[in-house]
Chains A and B, each alone.
Chain A
Amino acid sequence: QKEVEQDPGPLSVPEGAIVSLNCTYSNSAFQYFMWYRQYSRKGPELLMYTYSSGNKEDGRFTAQVDKSSKYISLFIRDSQPSDSATYLCAMSVAGGYGQNFVFGPGTRLSVLP
């Protein structure tokens, strides 16, 4: 079993839909959780960064962490064609300088106009 799992997609939705992207993980010591957006032929771009459990909202994006289920989600409201990209989750245990980040393989999202 991989340490971080993510459905690769592709996930296709119509413009305006609510999108739910998810990651599951096996290491209960993870405490920092991130979502990155990666456009084709570009580097990952940080969207959300959360510590421990709970929700965090930023504009149309909401990140949720459920540590009891070892499950994190990213919700995109009112999705736009410009949201079409690959979304990577990442997580790490406490301590270190980022060398212990573990990335999911990414979910490819297409928002159709």
Chain B
Amino acid sequence: NAGVTQTPKFQVLKTGQSMTLQCAQDMNHNSMYWYRQDPGMGLRLIYYSASEGTTDKGEVPNGYNVSRLNKREFSLRLESAAPSQTSVYFCASSYSGTNRPRNQPQHFGDGTRLSIL
């Protein structure tokens, strides 16, 4: 039972390089999310996708882009990495359907640790 799978687990980039973080879920969830976690700050939402075909900005979207490739996959791209983007990135998913109340809890992957030099 994989749940939410993120790749890669670790990555070191130089300033200005680009990369894509991958996320896939096998729980048939509609909604998917990208967060960053920094010491003392809690999880902050970067982008989310309420359903396949839609994406929206969260609290801290600057410097990032996302693609909801299909119902299972949601990727996060850094076009030109900056040291301020050094963080741990988490992907999450949740169910959002008509037969359950909204605000269903999110299920998280194990994160990608990204360092930008």
Task: Point out residues on A near B: beta carbons under 8 Å.
Answer: 4, 8, 31-32, 34, 36, 41-46, 49, 51, 88, 90, 92, 94-99, 101-106
Contacts and interface: CB of A to CB of B under 8 A. Distances in A.
A5 to B, nearest CB: 10
Interface of B: 4, 30-31, 33, 40-45, 48, 50-51, 56, 58, 90, 92, 94, 96, 101-111, 113
Contact of B106 (A42, A51, A98): A98
Contacts of B104: 98
- For the residues of A in contact with B, the DSSP-based class is loop
8 contacts: A8-B40, A43-B92, A44-B108, A92-B103, A97-B94, A98-B31, A99-B45, A106-B42
Contacts of A96: 102-103
A41 B113 CA distance: 9
Contacts of A103: 42-44
Nearest to B41: A105
A8 B40 CA distance: 8
A104 B42 contact: yes
Contacts of A36: 108
Contacts of A106: 42
Contact of B33 (A8, A46, A98): A98
B43 A43 contact: no
A88 B43 contact: yes
Contact of A4 (B42, B90, B111): B42
Q: Which 7 pairs, one residue from A and one from B, show the smallest C-beta to C-beta distance?
A: A43-B108, A103-B43, A103-B42, A97-B96, A105-B42, A97-B50, A32-B103
A94 B104 CA distance: 11
